[in-house]
Amino acid sequence: MLGSAGRPEYSPPFTFKLEEHMNDKAADYWDDWQQEALAAGVSEPLAALGMELMRTHRKNRWPKDFLGRASDGEVMIAMCLEDEAETELFFIENLYPYDTALIEKTKRRLCLH
């Protein structure tokens, strides 16, 4: 279910350590996110994919409006729990935007075509 801001409504039973990562300069915050995601019930493959998105965001210095900053942690976990297939496709599209074959293969595998 989407909230008023167009984001999934979810009240997490965990607290991503956002205050520790607000400057996005903390080393390896994506590993902490992956552990939080797994603890929240996100599947292992999707948590690994989300971790890779966060790591790639930081390493490539993507703009702030791209999903994947430490401050996006709770929203990303909520997305994973709300709709695993759509979120996986979204992460793949962001990580590999020019790999149309991979995107189409993922859509077919997830029955999202």
Q: Where are the domains of the chain?
A: 18-109
pTM of the shown model: 0.76
The DSSP secondary structure of 12-77, one letter per residue, reads -SS---HHHHTTS-STTHHHHHHHHHHHHT--HHHHHHHHHHHHHHHHHT--TTSS-SGGGHHHHH
Per-residue pLDDT of the chain (113 residues; tens, 9 = 90+): 445 555 555 555 555 554 454 454 556 889 999 999 999 999 999 999 999 999 999 888 888 888 999 899 999 999 999 999 999 999 999 999 999 999 999 999 999 98
For residues 50 and 59, give the distance between their C-alpha atoms in angstroms, rounded to a whole number: 14
- At 107, list the tokens: 């859509």
